[in-house]
Amino acid sequence: MIEHMMNGMSVSGTTTRPGPPHLVGLTEPADRPCNVTENFWAGLLEAGWVARLRSKDGQTRFQLRYYGELFEGLIVGDDLPSLVYAVTESGQQILLFDGAVHGNDAMFCDSWDEDRLRTRRADQVYVDADGEDTFELVVWVGYNIDWEDERQSFVDADDPDFVTLVDGRRLPFEVARYTAFDAVWISATNARGRATDAVSEELA
């Protein structure tokens, strides 16, 4: 499901760019999920940022709880954007993806009624084809926009260190550039070692 996101990016080793600010301190280097080839994995690294989720207390297995619906096994939004959390055995919740907040379209193009967004409840539990509901999670986000080259088109004319979003909020440029990823993919590997694509969305 993620081939269409690559846009012919070249293959290389690893990437050192920062990832999404909301996941800082909650990840570690990721091994390649078993449903991704080595060449394609290298291409993902070239096109974006990837990591395995790890909670602050060291847990690496999570339930996925979400708002939205399933389409061909993928978590997607309905008439509102999807909302996906990882939840530890002890109940700690980690926001992985909010389609109303994260990504280029949500930040610069799309808007929703705030009262309706507040009705979303991530109360559905993701279950894979094996009937499993606890996973190691690998998160990838794609960055195809060259924010340095395009900086003047994003920043405020009066304050070049800030970016104004479609809803009027202002973010520091360095926060906005890593929150406005243009694709997201979440791979869930169950206890049997089987990996499944749980989230795969283009966001620009």
For 39-64, write each residue's pLDDT tens digit: 989 988 888 999 999 999 999 999 99
For residue 157, what pLDDT is reported? 81
pLDDT tens sequence across 163-204 = 999 988 899 999 999 999 999 999 999 999 999 999 999 998
Q: Residue 153: pLDDT band by 50, 70, 90 thresholds?
A: confident
Strands 162-164, 170-172: pairing is: antiparallel
Q: How many residues does the chain have?
A: 204
CA distance 168 to 66: 27
Extended beta strands in 10-117, E state? 27-28, 48-53, 63-67, 69-71, 74-76, 83-87, 93-98
For residue 8, what pLDDT is reported? 30
88 has pLDDT over 50: yes
Q: Residue 16: pLDDT band by 50, 70, 90 thresholds?
A: low
Going by C-beta distance under 8 Å and a sequence separation of 6 or more, which residues neighbour residue 148?
none
pLDDT tens sequence across 106-138 = 999 999 999 999 999 999 999 999 999 999 999
Percent of the chain with pLDDT over 90: 77
For residue 178, what pLDDT is reported? 94
Alpha helices in 34-149 (DSSP H): 38-47, 104-108, 114-117
For residue 4, what pLDDT is reported? 38
CA distance 43 to 24: 23
The pTM (predicted TM-score) of the whole model is: 0.89
Which tokens is 150 given? 């395009």
Residue 43 DSSP SS3: helix
Half-sphere exposure of 87 (CA within 13 A, CB side): 15
Instruction: Single out the residue of 54, 10, 12, 22 nearest to residue 141, CA to CA.
Output: 22
